[in-house]
Amino acid sequence: MLGPIPAQLAWSPDGSKIAFASRVYDPHPPAELYVMKADGTNITRLTDTPSINELNPSWSVTGKIAYERDQKIWTMNADGTNQALFSAITQPAPSGPAWSPDGSKLAFASGNEIWLINADGTNEHRLTISVPPFDAPTNSPAWSPDGLKIAYGKTSFAQDFGINVINADGTNKVRLTMEDQDTSPTWSGDGTKIAFLRQNSPFGPAVCVMNTDGSNQVRIATNNRPFHDVAWKPVPAASRPRFDFDGDNKDDFAVYNPGDSPTAQSYWHILRSSDNSYFSTQFGSGEDKIVPADYNGDGSTDVAVFRPSTGYWYTSQDPATGYGAVQWGIEGDIPIPGDFDGDGTADHAVYRPSDGVWYILRSSDNGFIARQFGTATDKPLLMDYDGDRKTDLAFLRTVGTDYYWFILQSSNNTAVVPRLGVVGDKAVPADYDGDGRSNIAVYKPEPRTWVILNAAGNGTVEQQWGQSGDMAAPGDFDGDGKADFTIFRADGATWAVLRSADGGIVSQQWGNGTSVPVTRAYIP
């Protein structure tokens, strides 16, 4: 189907589509780029330049496709619009563009080397260093799913011909194969295997798979003609549970009982999903706002509160003192902790309604960001809308009776403003489809219906779940990477979970009539 030239393949990050190069749909010799669904249907042409080849697409999590055109790198939107030269690349005849998993960097080959450049065009630099006098062209850079390593091919006459792997910072280059026509490495979605093409196999051109250290090389397919390309289907990055206090990748049933006065003691009660045991702790006072998050990057949610009167954050992560304390914010600020710098650790962050500024204390380097985005009446939201593993600046604005969602995407610094919901609805953003991105969603108390905007933003999914008076409290209680439709019924302190994994129903009594479900911590 794909024609006589190399049908370079690029999966969309969610694994639902494939971009590819082909001549077969055009009588002109040069290749064009197309996209199709993963099942081979709905083939759509993206480029139309009859006299120029377009090759080697690479699909970014930000929705951009990088590709080769006329010995340069170009980019376009995934629907083929906004085609533009990536003019910041200065190296001659760049080829094989490859976006990093978070979309922040682009790797490419030029001559005998692999190069990197930031998505915004800054910091173009060489990653590999050739060893003279014997060297040869480098090809097909491929990022590991965690973004820490890059595999690439070296052709004949190079001292390190075959498949090589190097750290993304340019250190620790390792040669994995010893054949001079091994090309096109591609990582498995879990990062444990590398597939590649071996064009000079004694059995004919072959597709091979090996461990990431080069061991256990196995031929899995052969052909009497050279293979054009191999591309491993990605595993979409599932969102990490926000309320996982025991680190088992499932949210826990947890409630907070605030003190009945500003200085009265408050209590947390948590039912661990890992072993069905529970723990209760006094932490916080009546005036505090709960801010559970993973503040030390250990994979478990920490008990934490924000004290509005002083701007102090208190977390339960320090075993020596029993708590940690960080002053960040002033009275009137709204706490909204998130991983804004993408280091896997929650940052202390507040939204200040008085000036519409977000103040973020980065956990990665203790630096801070102050960014104006919002007004006094807007409600901050905790979301990763673009799926780059960084929290986006986001807020809910009421215009008339309608809800507008303002989201500044961290991956490309562009804003989107979808509309969903009306006054009276509860905004319940979460990753309901398991693609690693927060969905725009609302819970309508009447008729007790959840409405989720799909990833494309052009349709909704609805689910009736709940009774009159229930509180929406979504969480990933079955550990499948998708938020479950969940309500908390104060009358009886009962949780009702509609499991996304299998459609089953879980009912759990946990809390009392004055308890606040912890999974509602960031619902405005």
What is the CATH number for 447?
A: 2.130.10.10
- 423 has pLDDT over 60: yes
Counting other chains too, the contacts that 388-394 makes at CB distance below 8 Å and 24 or more residues apart are 388/61, 388/62, 388/102, 388/103, 388/104, 388/342, 389/102, 389/237, 389/339, 389/342, 389/436, 390/102, 390/339, 390/340, 390/341, 390/342, 391/338, 391/339, 391/340, 391/347, 391/349, 393/358, 394/429
Is 217 in the same domain as 281? Answer: no
- 131 has pLDDT over 90: no
Task: Assign residue 190 a region (left: φ > 0; alpha: ψ between -120 and 50; beta: otherwise).
Answer: alpha
Mean pLDDT across 420-442: 94
Of 120 and 226, the one with more pLDDT: 120
Split at pLDDT 50, 70, 90, the class of 62 is: confident
Is 435 in the same domain as 481? Answer: yes
Establish if 2 belongs to a structural domain: no
Helix (H, G, I), strand (E, B) or coil at 520: helix
Split at pLDDT 50, 70, 90, the class of 224 is: confident
Of 437 and 28, the one with more pLDDT: 437
Is 273 in the same domain as 154? Answer: no
Establish if 20 belongs to a structural domain: yes
Q: Which two tokens stand for residue 514?
A: 């004055």
* Mean pLDDT for the chain overall: 90
Structure confidence at residue 426 (pLDDT)? 97
Is 14 in the same domain as 83? Answer: yes
- 521 has pLDDT over 90: yes
Structure confidence at residue 24 (pLDDT)? 64
Question: Over the stretch 298-320, which tens digit does the pLDDT of each residue have?
Answer: 889 999 999 999 999 999 975 55
Structure confidence at residue 4 (pLDDT)? 36
Establish if 233 belongs to a structural domain: no
- 134 has pLDDT over 70: no
Split at pLDDT 50, 70, 90, the class of 229 is: confident
CB atoms within 10 A of CB 327: 12
Structure confidence at residue 133 (pLDDT)? 58
Q: Which two tokens stand for residue 333?
A: 């600020």
Establish if 104 belongs to a structural domain: yes
Q: Are 62 and 103 in contact (CB under 8 A)?
A: yes
Is 203 in the same domain as 320? Answer: no
Structure confidence at residue 86 (pLDDT)? 98
Is 202 in the same domain as 318? Answer: no
Planar angle of CA 210, 211, 212, nearest 5 degrees: 115
Share of the chain above pLDDT 70, in %: 94
Sheet holding 206-211, edge to edge: 182-187, 193-198, 206-211, 218-222
* Closest residue by Cα to residue 328 from 356, 362, 371, 292: 362
Establish if 240 belongs to a structural domain: no
Is 118 in the same domain as 26? Answer: yes
Lowest mean pLDDT among 54-58, 87-91, 203-207, 293-297: 203-207
Is 208 in the same domain as 291? Answer: no
Q: Rounded CA gap, 126 and 508, in Å?
A: 56
- In this structure, what CATH number is given to the domain that contains residue 131? 2.120.10.30
Helix (H, G, I), strand (E, B) or coil at 519: helix
Structure confidence at residue 244 (pLDDT)? 95
| Structural domain count, the chain | 2
Mean pLDDT across 403-422: 94
Split at pLDDT 50, 70, 90, the class of 157 is: low
Establish if 307 belongs to a structural domain: yes
Q: Are 124 and 88 in contact (CB under 8 A)?
A: yes
Structure confidence at residue 3 (pLDDT)? 44
What's at 361, amino acid-wise? L
Is 349 in the same domain as 491? Answer: yes
CB atoms within 10 A of CB 28: 12
Lowest mean pLDDT among 156-165, 182-191, 281-290, 453-462: 156-165
- 146 has pLDDT over 70: yes
What DSSP string runs through 99-114? E-TTSSEEEEEETTEE
- 215 has pLDDT over 90: yes
Establish if 60 belongs to a structural domain: yes
Structure confidence at residue 1 (pLDDT)? 40
Mean pLDDT across 49-60: 90
Structure confidence at residue 6 (pLDDT)? 45
Q: Rounded CA gap, 31 and 55, in Å?
A: 7
Q: Rounded CA gap, 214 and 192, in Å?
A: 11
Q: Are 464 and 447 in contact (CB under 8 A)?
A: yes
Is 281 in the same domain as 146? Answer: no
Cα pseudo-dihedral 218, 223, 224, 229, rounded to 10 = -100
Q: 147 is in which domain, residue-wise?
A: 9-222
Lowest mean pLDDT among 124-133, 190-199, 384-393, 399-408: 124-133
Mean pLDDT across 137-162: 83
Question: Over the stretch 254-281, which tens digit does the pLDDT of each residue have?
Answer: 999 999 999 999 999 999 999 999 999 9
Q: Rounded CA gap, 121 and 108, in Å?
A: 13
Q: Are 203 and 197 in contact (CB under 8 A)?
A: no
Establish if 232 belongs to a structural domain: no
- 225 has pLDDT over 80: no
Residues contacting 319, CB < 8 A, separation 6+: none
Is 315 in the same domain as 264? Answer: yes
Is 151 in the same domain as 211? Answer: yes
Q: What is the DSSP letter of 445?
A: T
Structure confidence at residue 369 (pLDDT)? 95
